[in-house]
Amino acid sequence: MATTPNLPTPDFTYDPTLPGACIAGVRPYRNGSYRLDSETIGSKFIVHNYGHGGAGITLSWGCAGKVHDIVKGFLVGTQDTKVAVLGAGVMGLTAATRMLDLGLAVTIYSDRKPLETTSSKAGGQWAVSVVEYSGKERELTDIIKTAYTTFKASIGQGFGVSERPNYTATSSHNLDIVIQLAPGLIPPRKSLARLPFEGHTQPGFVYQTLLIEPPIFLARLEADLRARGAVFVNRKFTGKSDILASVTENILINCTGLGSMTLFSDTKMQPIKGQLAMLPPQAALKYLYGQNGYMFPRADHVVIGGTFEVGVNNETPDPTVCQGLVDHIASQFGKAPVKPLPDIHIHHPDHAPIVNPDIPVA
Ligand SMILES: Cc1cc2nc3c(=O)[nH]c(=O)nc-3n(C[C@H](O)[C@H](O)[C@H](O)COP(=O)(O)OP(=O)(O)OC[C@H]3O[C@@H](n4cnc5c(N)ncnc54)[C@H](O)[C@@H]3O)c2cc1C
């Protein structure tokens, strides 16, 4: 029987102490479900769009479509022509884009520039990862379909989106969500007798997925928004009363991610820190890889991640953790002694999706 040739082995040479080689971000996780709804407070109509955990990039265009529909419905009974978007991460920028599509004048308020947000630190796989959607199966189905088809249509258009094979050691819970909610949306997963890599003997799976490179995607969204007349304002809000008093627009889209924990006193919000090892880019690598941790080949870096620190709300990277991530993936290729992920790969007992050692979690 012919053996499948191996795909290129990554170069795992890595110095976690170099600037930018080890980064950390905090996922805006929300217990029960992400928030996508509206409320009226006095003269303000507020649409909330936050709490997407490890799937904000993935769901962004779909959620922006829902925000569009909510605001379009509201506009039927008002003369308002202006909208304030709070937050310049992926949720804010995609929602702002759809607000321009409605013909509204858009101002984006944020205390961080797009490339400083959590969104800019995401790995970038299209995966419904570490997000709850209790009771919202139909809504999430729409969101997934819109998001996937919008990203797919943008391949080759300068948004940093590409379709890649993802090789995984086990079947992916994240993928199962998509197969279950939107059958036929994505190409089927194939079983492999052996993963086609140096040092691998075990069976596995491959499926086609989308890689969305956040630095390219966010920069492009920002450039397009500015070109279409959206205004960016640097502003740090201290609380809901500050927002209501200082934002002059009557329509507000709240995309402040983890910021909503304090700004809107949302006790369901929970920070989940993740760390990423950023290796130099390697043009020969065209595939994603997942084995209790993940590796994404981007234009700027080969990204290795897979840590979850539930309840930890700081962006301080730990070089030891990043080195541990690299050693873990390298060991699968026979390039380092076999090691589990760093101890920091915490699985929280209260979170079923996180307990599942999903491949790949993002
Ligand atoms: C390590 C890691 C890997 C990840 N990998 C993936 C992945 O592969 N695929 C995927 O889909 N997702 C991934 N994610 C998840 C993704 O990054 C988030 O779900 C997404 O960034 C959330 O976007 P957001 O716009 O809601 O929040 P953010 O990007 O955090 O944006 C929030 C905005 O609100 C502003 N803001 C907050 N508070 C205030 C305030 N008080 N005043 C003014 N402005 C405020 C911020 O400045 C910012 O502009 C990953 C996350 C991490 C940490």
Instruction: Check pocket membership of 273 for ligand 1, CB cut-off 6 A.
Output: no
**DSSP result, 227-243:** HTT-EEEE----SHHHH
- Whether residue 188 contacts residue 175, with contact meaning beta carbons closer than 8 Å, is answered with no
Distance in angstroms (rounded) separating the CA atoms of residues 324 and 346: 14
pLDDT tens digits, 239-274: 999 999 999 999 999 999 999 999 999 999 999 999
As a dihedral over the C-alpha atoms of residue 67, residue 68, residue 72, residue 73, rounded to 10 degrees, the angle is -40
CA of 350 to the centre of ligand 1 (A): 22
Instruction: Check pocket membership of 117 for ligand 1, CB cut-off 6 A.
Output: yes
3-state secondary structure (DSSP) of residue 345:
strand
Instruction: Check pocket membership of 169 for ligand 1, CB cut-off 6 A.
Output: no
Which is nearest to 164 in space by CA: 187, 181, 193?
187
**Residue type for position 29:** Y
Task: Say what the pLDDT of residue 61 is.
Answer: 99
3-state secondary structure (DSSP) of residue 286:
coil
Cis, peptide link before residue 360, omega less than 30° from 0:
yes
90: which 2 tokens?
Answer: 């992926």
Task: Say what the pLDDT of residue 338 is.
Answer: 77
Binned average pLDDT, 10 residues per bin, the chain of 362 residues: 83 97 98 98 98 98 98 96 99 99 98 98 96 96 98 98 96 92 96 97 96 98 99 98 98 98 98 97 97 94 94 96 94 86 46 34 40
**Residue type for position 278:** M
Counting from 1 in the atom list of ligand 1, the atom nearest the Cα of 24 is 1
Task: Say what the pLDDT of residue 361 is.
Answer: 40
Instruction: Check pocket membership of 166 for ligand 1, CB cut-off 6 A.
Output: no
Which is nearest to 98 in space by CA: 129, 123, 69, 120?
69
115: which 2 tokens?
Answer: 């490339």
Domain ranges within the chain, ordered by starting residue:
22-355
Task: Say what the pLDDT of residue 69 is.
Answer: 98
- Whether residue 269 contacts residue 308, with contact meaning beta carbons closer than 8 Å, is answered with no
Q: Which CATH architecture has domain 22-355?
A: 3-Layer(aba) Sandwich (3.40)
Q: Is the dihedral of CA 208, 209, 211, 217 positive or negative?
A: positive
130: which 2 tokens?
Answer: 């570490």
Counting from 1 in the atom list of ligand 1, the atom nearest the Cα of 276 is 1
131: which 2 tokens?
Answer: 């997000």
In Å, how far from its chain's centre is CA 210?
A: 12
Task: Say what the pLDDT of residue 347 is.
Answer: 40
Task: Say what the pLDDT of residue 341 is.
Answer: 62
